[in-house]
Structure 1
Amino acid sequence: MYKSEQLAQHLKQLIENKTWKAHEKLPSLRQQVERSGFSLITVMNAYQELEAQGLIYSKEKSGYFVAENQHDSAEKHVAINHKIEINSIVFKYLKSIQSEQIIPLGSAFPNSQLLYSAKLIQTLGQLAKQRRSYEQTPSLPPGNYELRKIIAQRYAMQGIPTDPSDIVITSGGLDALNLSLQAMTQSGDYILLQQTLFYGAWQAAERLGLKVITIPEHPVDGIDLEAFEQAILNYPIKVCLMMLNSQNPIGFTVSDEIKLRLAKILHRHQIHLIEDDVYEELYYGNKKPLSMKYFDQQNLILHCSSFSKTLGAGFRVGWVYAGKYSENIQHIQLMSTLSVNSFIQNALVEYLSHRHYEKHLKTLRSTLQRLKKQYFNYLNTHLPTQCTVDYYPSGYFLWIELPEYLDSTLIYQRLLEKKISVAPNILFNATMQNKNHIRINCSFEINTRIQTALEHLIEDLQQQIDLHLEQHE
């Protein structure tokens, strides 16, 4: 046993037998060096091991403290990630699927042919002839007032009183998330994420030097509220970042009842939440799911969304409902992305001022619902019986669970050799746990090319399963 493991085991016994109480400060690293006789690096490794187990937590410039409510299930429910390293993985993945020759089942964007509205293109052409559309002055933060006014009105129609001054226009949904997270945290802070989540959240955590606490998904409710409150009690969480409507990559939408209970926990502990809601308009049926902002009574929630998933990547215009943090976010924006294209903002104002957008959304939702059901039926019929497909009535992703002995990264690499992309689990879970999942984009018509790609996926999975069974007979 290494010296650091010996020390960690000894300190763990002191915590478990209540020699050190919850939230009691541990001896500093140098004090522990003097007490134990071990080197500084050994003591540091021991403390980091205890932190990874959820037994202690750290505060910047204050030291290490005993975590609360320790029990056997702590490690199972909550995980801590000291150092996130996912940017290079995401970069290599996105570069690998750029070619037009690649069949884009791994793409994060809907089929562009479904998104670009003829009326919007017409509006762009008309505005291009007007010189005022090129003027840059109105594009400075917080963005075009008329556009912010329209967005505020859309919130009001959902029962969320909103003023245009609450809204900051951003260069897409990811920019909104990054600006919000930067405004709410400092390097070394703890944030809470869902265990499986859109890679942009993990990238932001890596860039800002944040420590990430993750909680698992609940098989029924989507979010495990027990694990969520446990994490808040055990760690000094600065802010949570979650996706609760048409969650990417799994696809679930959390019920209003669970959202209300989540809001009460946030209010009770005075914890802020950044809500990533870029898929909010891609629901099926007649009732739009409520955002967490609807349940926010204490201005603890920053709501982020975008037009890019409904109007195309070319209209990468997003926003954050920032409330009292609006000015701070604008200051950060001036030092980073600076402003959003004023021409595109003007075009959106003209387009959204009429009923064109609602008609477009209605058609888009209907098409995505039809396509997703077709993909689900096909995969559910033809995939090996050892695989399961999660179907949720919104968005355009299917989440496929493979047998635990299969690695989705290897499957992605083999399919890429055949010019087929899928999204492996490694993009959505920086803890490197649960490598046996794949995300499929279902927004493309199942033509001969797409069906051939799906057949190759099914064939590869069957071959790997057969090989495993042969080796373990």
Structure 2
Amino acid sequence: MLKSAQIVSQIQLLIKNGALKAHQKLPSLREQSMQSGFSLMTVLSAYQQLEAQGLIYSKQKSGFYVAGAQVDASSASEALQHTTKIEINSQVFHYLKDTQQQDIIPLCSAFPDHALLFNPRLMSIIAQHAKKRPSYQQNANLPPGNLALRQLIANKYIVQGIATSADDIVITSGALDALNLSLEALTQAGDYILLQQHIFYGAWQASERLGLQVISIPEHPQFGFDLDAFEQALQRYPIKVCWLMLNSHNPIGFTVSDEIKARIGELLQQYQVHLIEDDVYQEMYFGQHKPLSMKFFDQDNDVLHCSSFSKLLGSGTRIGWVHAGRYSEAIQHRQQMRTLSASPLIQNALGDFLSSQHYEKHLRTLRRTLAQNKKQFYQALQRILPNTCEIQYFESGYFLWIKLPESVNADTLYQTLLAENIGISPSSLFNPQHDQSSYFRLNCSFAWSPEIEQACVRIGEMISTLSE
């Protein structure tokens, strides 16, 4: 038996018979080396093998610890992925830079068609405020932000049965700012964060920047969210924070049921884990009823709910918020050291616009148009794309998630189409853990046109060519 295998066998037995408890710290590499008489490299190899089996985990600058409730190692490794070093910022930088060309067909965009977001009434209100000096005054709009706007946002939570006051709301410079501020307030380097396997790349970027260890769970093929994998991750690892998107998920598009959300809330309370909810697409539902946020199921006020107006009124608004509750001051402190505040002019104008009937009318028109455009895209792509592709369609949002044939790599497809000024979003942007990028996201918010049709035909032709 190899020397490292001896150490592995010994620790496996100690864990199995209960001599080593969940989350108990193991002897350091040097201590284990002195006890066993083996070299430091042999001990490190053994610990790495045990970590790969899901029996132990590492904490930055702290050492190795026994994992939580043990399950079959092979099934665990299939369901959960542990990443200690993330490298995605460079890829995202080049992706955003390459897809900003003016002549590109923006099927890669994260925003709806700007023509759908332009609202003349809002522009008129902004113009009126631009003539008034008080609209530029900073003091009334410093963190936590414009009081009238915060009260209007709080009222929307109250309508959904979520007790909220204006003091719970912090206005930010967009949703990403809200998400990053929330994560900074709750974590420090080396902490464990749980993400969905595919999620908005900003979550991966923030984890890389803050030096966090990521545990990711796969999507459920039927329900979108895999509760079993979620509970397994909470049992096995010392998760500090979850960052989840459960309504009109980006990039896949599913909305998680209220029953599953309720169970997520119970598990968060049971394991005392915080949740940062990215809910920028909540208003983009196609049915009669607006989906609930996880804030509705928050039992211990541990959910920080983040959203924005950017996907609804255009990126130029750049106003987001976080329902921060008891973490409001901690977030404001970080905000004052960094972004200070969102645009006072836009905050004042949004306050007037939201209090009018024009905002709700705008949302109804936007939802109806997105539903029509997405359905038309879906029907057309079923005809255009090779039958070896699988198109996932959900009744919300404006994204389609498309699985490629096994022989086609989405990154190669992306680069090839980019040379023809056609933009798509490869799955590697949303899951840097996988070596194989086999899906891509398509923005279907645009009205169907000859230009769009030709771009989709070209995508189909390129998939066929690459698969050969």
TM over 0.5: yes
5+ residue gaps, structure 1: 468-473
Q: Does residue 176 in structure 1 map to residue 178 in structure 2?
A: yes
Looking at structure 1, the residues matched to 96 and 42 of structure 2 have their Cα atoms a distance apart, in angstroms, of: 39
Structure-to-structure mapping, 1:130-141, within 5 angstroms: 130-141=132-143
2:130 maps to what in 1?
128
Superposition deviation, residue 35 in structure 1: 4.2
Task: Say if 1:383 and 1:22 are closer, same or farther in 2 by CA, change over 3 A.
Answer: farther
2:405 maps to what in 1?
403
1:150 maps to what in 2?
152
1:316 maps to what in 2?
318
Structure-to-structure mapping, 1:184-203, within 5 angstroms: 184-203=186-205
1:56 maps to what in 2?
56
1:262 maps to what in 2?
264
2:9 maps to what in 1?
13
Looking at structure 1, the residues matched to 199 and 49 of structure 2 have their Cα atoms a distance apart, in angstroms, of: 25
Question: Which SS does the other structure have where 1:207 is aligned?
Answer: helix
Looking at structure 2, the residues matched to 240 and 215 of structure 1 have their Cα atoms a distance apart, in angstroms, of: 11
Structure-to-structure mapping, 1:160-175, within 5 angstroms: 160-175=162-177
Q: Percent identity?
A: 56
Q: Is this contact kept in 1: 2:307–2:320, CA < 8 A?
A: yes
Looking at structure 1, the residues matched to 9 and 39 of structure 2 have their Cα atoms a distance apart, in angstroms, of: 21
* Letter in structure 2 aligned against 1:195: Q
Task: Say if 1:388 and 1:39 are closer, same or farther in 2 by CA, change over 3 A.
Answer: same
Q: Is this contact kept in 2: 1:29–1:40, CA < 8 A?
A: yes
Deviation track 1:314-358 (CA, whole Å, cap 9, x = no partner) reads 011100000000000000111111111100100100111111110
2:247 maps to what in 1?
245
Superposition deviation, residue 79 in structure 1: 0.8
* Letter in structure 1 aligned against 2:333: H
Q: How many residues align?
A: 462
Looking at structure 2, the residues matched to 414 and 49 of structure 1 have their Cα atoms a distance apart, in angstroms, of: 39
2:25 maps to what in 1?
25
Looking at structure 2, the residues matched to 94 and 143 of structure 1 have their Cα atoms a distance apart, in angstroms, of: 29
Q: Is this contact kept in 2: 1:172–1:316, CA < 8 A?
A: yes
Name the stretch that deviates more: 163-172 or 126-135.
126-135
1:34 maps to what in 2?
34
**Superposition TM-score, scaled by structure 2 size:** 0.95
2:280 maps to what in 1?
278
Q: 1:457 aligns with which of 432, 451, 459?
A: 459
Superposition deviation, residue 40 in structure 1: 4.1
Looking at structure 1, the residues matched to 141 and 360 of structure 2 have their Cα atoms a distance apart, in angstroms, of: 25
Task: Say if 1:16 and 1:194 are closer, same or farther in 2 by CA, change over 3 A.
Answer: same
2:393 maps to what in 1?
391
1:356 maps to what in 2?
358
Q: Is this contact kept in 1: 2:248–2:254, CA < 8 A?
A: yes
Task: Say if 1:10 and 1:384 are closer, same or farther in 2 by CA, change over 3 A.
Answer: farther
Deviation track 1:213-233 (CA, whole Å, cap 9, x = no partner) reads 001001112111111111111
* Letter in structure 2 aligned against 1:439: R
1:297 maps to what in 2?
299
Superposition deviation, residue 10 in structure 1: 3.9
Q: Is this contact kept in 2: 1:53–1:79, CA < 8 A?
A: no
Question: Which SS does the other structure have where 2:181 is aligned?
Answer: helix
Looking at structure 1, the residues matched to 52 and 117 of structure 2 have their Cα atoms a distance apart, in angstroms, of: 44
| Moved segments of 4+, more than 6 Å | none
1:287 maps to what in 2?
289
Q: Is this contact kept in 2: 1:105–1:442, CA < 8 A?
A: yes
**Superposition TM-score, scaled by structure 1 size:** 0.94
